[in-house]
Amino acid sequence: MNSKFSILSSKRNKLFIFLFGIFLSNAIVAEIIGVKIFSVESTFGFKPLHLQTFLGTWDINQTAGALNWPFVFITSDIINEYFGKRGVKRVSYLAAGFIAYCFIIIYGATLLTPAPFWLEVNKGTDNFNIDYAFGKIFRQGLGIITGSLTAFLISQLLDAYIFHAIRKVTDSKKIWLRATGSTLVSQLIDSFVVIGIAFVLFGNWTIDQWLSTSLNSYLYKFFTAILLTPIIYLAHNLIDKYLGNDVTDKLQVEAASEE
């Protein structure tokens, strides 16, 4: 094998591993912290809106899992740009498997019998049960796991197809359009599906709580996707310099030619 090709191929492999690492790390963290629903108003020191709408009472509440999710879809778009739909499918299926594995291990940890001294040193003056809190936080039920993985796979695969469809029309131009456009559509599905399955279908949320929280989550992703567009261009420039023009062109041609 040509030594030059081997070096360039190695760079390509390193790039894929690096992007997958960012993708997987942020996806796992988002899934773990997603069980917490926080008040945006109170976090910034304001009173909740309690706005009365046709959806019912609307406050700006959203899942903590949305905070770092923009880095997931930015990385997904970059993988799609250089490795095509096949690359996105590969990392999506692998990530879903690793997320399920993490849930199993974490759930198993919540079932372990706590050491008495650990309970004692952490109970404080309020007789706080740290083992109960540990289980309550990490023992995410079947609904959350099902909702998370379902929404994750649907949104990622949808993002890949929309990204590719826009790219076929725009060719290598308008990176912002295919990256932002695919994200805005796929995350609309993700935001409503994950909360709907986890907290409505398997939980006790009302419809208005589901709609308002999902909408808040989507609006955050919507504006963040637009604001982070310069980062996508910066990432492209850095990757192009790292790979070199020949490999960059080859990868993008292969990615764009996928059916």
Does pLDDT of 5 surpass 50? no
pTM strictly above 0.95: no
Show the 3-state SS of 20-82: HHHHHHHHHHHHHHCCCEEEHHHHCCCCCCCEEECCEEECCEEEHHHCCHHHHHHHHHHHHHH
Q: What does DSSP assign to residue 224?
A: H
Please state the rounded mean pLDDT for residues 5-22: 79
pLDDT digits 0-9 by tens, 110-144: 999 999 999 999 999 999 999 999 998 887 666 67
Comparing CA positions, the residue from 190, 195, 19, 187 lying closest to residue 94 is 19
Terminal-residue alpha carbon distance, the chain: 29
Comparing CA positions, the residue from 17, 40, 79 lying closest to residue 213 is 40
